[in-house]
Amino acid sequence: MSAIQIPSELIDLRDSVKSFIEREIVPIEAKYAQELQETGTIANAEEEKKKIRKRSAELGFYTLHMSEELGGGGLSYLGQILVHEEVSRSGSLLARRGSVLASVEGPTPILAPCTPEQRQRYLDPLMRAEKEMCFALTEPGAGSDATQIKTKAEQKNGSFIISGTKHFITHGAEADFCVVFAVTDPEKRARGGITAFFVDKGTPGFEVARIQRTASTVDRPAELVFDNVEVPAENMLGEFGNGFYAAMGWINGGRLHIAASALGIAQHLLDKMVEYAKTRVAFGHPIGKNQYVQGMVVDSWCELESARSFVYEMASRIDDGADGRREAAAAKLVATEMVGRVADRAIQVYGGNGFMTEMMIEPYWREVRAMRLYEGTSEILRTNIAKTLGL
């Protein structure tokens, strides 16, 4: 329980997300129970999620994080935390990650500077979950230090010619279009020399080179190649040279969403640990009667509760006007490090069963590992926080 007072309308909203999942998603997922148990995933997940996204968009959940001017719910950061946590807590694979709530495939406040034509072509279809996007910044030679990207865009006869390679791009293979960040002035780089462009799937020279296999079955990022891809000047997103600021414009929101998902997953795993510790018998009594097992459960409970209070507090501070650099970085750092420890303990409490995919514990352990990497590694987050402390 956090010291933060959660307004009753946010509790109601969280409850309506919960009942949407129970009413409309759990029955769909039940059809895949056997596959899920055997493989830890659902091969048809993307197709099912597409339908869920549309339904969620109709109900207004999918665009809660977008401003009201853009047709979204204008939800506070604290509210966004609550709904993201609820979705992850559900333990439903089909409800999570770009399904009930938007993730990288969906509408993002980065698109706020869209022109009226771009809004019609890209943003509005995203809001209705009729199109999907990907966010292409990272490159083989530039990850944490994204200012060093090499992909370039050169002006030619009123168009831009984009060349370069992006990798680790979530939803890169499935997206209808990409928002690609390219260098337009190598001298200025992050300070006015990087520009964002819309690139549609099927544009000559733009190719999904390969899907990149990862430790987790739910992460299937792609390598994207841009070989002299010509896009009209109307495809520029926002101001020329302003792309890096635009890319960082939603970083706090993205980090808070990951922090909230970490809380939800940790709660789901804690619930499972408690249940298992009560029912699994060894040496004639439930394993939860052993203090070593109790320690793993109790440490997880304590760490989750304190991370939750911290994340809620950080989100509230941003709602109250903090610029969010320190708060969002700290929320993601604390929650994602916590969920890593909880997932590891969950395997230990389950013993050998925890390592077997069919118990649906180990897929989380693999999945949450990546949370300490994307949207700022734990080290970069610490560096960001240190800067705000004057170091």
Ligand X SMILES: Cc1cc2nc3c(=O)[nH]c(=O)nc-3n(C[C@H](O)[C@H](O)[C@H](O)COP(=O)(O)OP(=O)(O)OC[C@H]3O[C@@H](n4cnc5c(N)ncnc54)[C@H](O)[C@@H]3O)c2cc1C
Contact between 383 and ligand X by CB under 6 A: the answer reads yes
Contact between 218 and ligand X by CB under 6 A: the answer reads no
Which residue has its beta carbon closest to ligand X? Answer: 143
Contact between 379 and ligand X by CB under 6 A: the answer reads yes
Site for ligand X in 97-156 (CB under 6 A): 104, 135-138, 143-144
Nearest residue (CB) to ligand X, 63 versus 151: 151
Nearest residue (CB) to ligand X, 271 versus 379: 379
Least spacing, CB of residue 376 vs ligand X, in Å: 7
Least spacing, CB of residue 137 vs ligand X, in Å: 3
Least spacing, CB of residue 246 vs ligand X, in Å: 13
Number of residues this chain uses to bind ligand X (CB under 6 A): 20
Site for ligand X in 146-205 (CB under 6 A): 168-170
Q: Which of 223, 230, 375, 379 is catalytic?
A: 375
Contact between 249 and ligand X by CB under 6 A: the answer reads no
Least spacing, CB of residue 169 vs ligand X, in Å: 5
- What are the Cα distances from residue 75, in Å, to 8, 78, 166? 14, 8, 32
Contact between 370 and ligand X by CB under 6 A: the answer reads yes
**Residue 68, both tokens:** 């009201």
Nearest residue (CB) to ligand X, 22 versus 379: 379
Least spacing, CB of residue 172 vs ligand X, in Å: 7
Nearest residue (CB) to ligand X, 219 versus 287: 219
Contact between 244 and ligand X by CB under 6 A: the answer reads no
Least spacing, CB of residue 166 vs ligand X, in Å: 7
Nearest residue (CB) to ligand X, 154 versus 379: 379
For β-strands 133-136 and 281-282, DSSP reports them as unpaired
375 catalytic? Reply is yes
Residues that bind ligand X (CB under 6 A): 104, 135-138, 143-144, 168-170, 214, 219, 221, 370, 373-374, 377, 379-380, 383
- Catalytic residue annotation: 375
